[in-house]
Structure 1
């Protein structure tokens, strides 16, 4: 069994717990309100804007023996640049004030997930960040397209309001294959255990964003 397959198997219970979050089920059923969708986008903005800085921190902390992984991190950075702006544009396409979203404060759950990511990299082990990548990308691949279709149909919104979700759904499958190839090059048992444990924590933290998400986590309609 490859390490990527083992990672999926060892985190299966945590993944299922995340996917049972009421707001995710609501989104997949097309029952999310417009305010709730914008609240989701707003929190997504607040963690996605940290993706590139986090990747930069990972690259800086990797030892010389992981130069191959640092090169991969550089590729990730190039691909992730500007994704937070896509989210703000989706918010504007919904008729809401994207600058208000930019200047808003994240929810406690979002703040805690981002803070843990930085702490994991700086204090513990930069490889732990790949547990976060596994959680966010894996969840997006399995739910983003279906959620976008359901929300779009339920709210009669234009496709331009879903650039973030559609770009991180089925179209992002090659990104996951790239991640799988990287994980299968991690052969040290201690490093593998660090990534597995990290993924379990991030499933909890990311799930908390959805479990505590309400319409009040969004912003107002544009004037």
Structure 2
């Protein structure tokens, strides 16, 4: 017998994401696999790619919030979605700068990271969201956010990487902060999903966005786990 919990949008999305979980989990495990040492070049590549991805977060949410404001009078999802996005924008603002600061402490070049062409995988991840926000419905962005915040670093990861790379603890500020923050953000997002008057079309957009994001993150982490060093 199906419980009431499994009928909620957040639980339904979790069930769909479970299909992508094995591949995504394997990519994470490969990237952070145990060992006596962890290549500094791999961590620098990780910071480059995370900066390229995370610097799109606030602009994506700002664009989605603007679309919500334009459609809110006749769209019962747009009003509460826009309010959530406005709050979450402030929670996420500046996190791309944290990554550049981490990169500097780790011995990388922040100017190069900020000016380089983002990899195709990152462009696909963020670009799909721009398209769905503009040409479908901004609710799709919640699927993207759900995957990113639902796969935050483990609380122990920053200290373990510091020990394995020999880099200063300050080089892992973003890893440490997201391990602490994203659990609360995820709870807020699930509460929003379960409160919105979502139609079947909205739920489909959420699922497609989330699964597409999970696939992109899997491909990005799989590459970083096998690359000889340096950003994509």
| TM-based fold match above 0.5 | yes
Structure 1 residue 13 displacement after superposition: 1.9
Structure 1 residue 193 displacement after superposition: 2.1
Q: Deviating runs (4+, > 3 A) in structure 1?
A: none
Q: Distance in 2 between matches of 1:156 and 1:117?
A: 37
CA contact (8 A) 2:133 2:139 kept: yes
Match of 1:182 in 2: 192
- Is the aligned partner of 1:25 residue 2:10? no
Q: Distance in 1 between matches of 2:121 and 2:51?
A: 13
Q: 1:16 to 1:147 in 2, by over 3 A?
A: farther
Structure 1 residue 80 displacement after superposition: 1.1
Match of 1:204 in 2: 215
Residues 73-84 of structure 1: matches in 2 within 5 Å? Answer: 73-84=85-96
| Greater relative contact order structure (CA < 8 Å, 6+ sep) | 1
Of residues 163, 170, 179 in structure 1, which corresponds to 2:180? Answer: 170
Of residues 42, 54, 60 in structure 1, which corresponds to 2:60? Answer: 54
Match of 1:221 in 2: none
Give 1 or 2 for the bigger CA radius of gyration: 2
Q: Distance in 1 between matches of 2:215 and 2:22?
A: 11
CA contact (8 A) 2:129 2:209 kept: no
Structure 1 residue 28 displacement after superposition: 4.5
Structure 1 residue 10 displacement after superposition: 1.6
CA RMSD of aligned residues (A): 1.7
CA contact (8 A) 1:28 1:150 kept: no
Structure 1 residue 174 displacement after superposition: 1.3
CA contact (8 A) 2:31 2:221 kept: no
Would you say how many aligned residue pairs link Structure 1 and Structure 2?
215
TM-score, with normalisation over the residues of structure 2? 0.86
Q: Which runs of 5+ in 1 are unaligned?
A: 219-223
Q: Distance in 1 between matches of 2:222 and 2:31?
A: 11
* Segment of structure 1 superposing worse, 82-91 or 101-110: 101-110
CA contact (8 A) 1:127 1:194 kept: yes
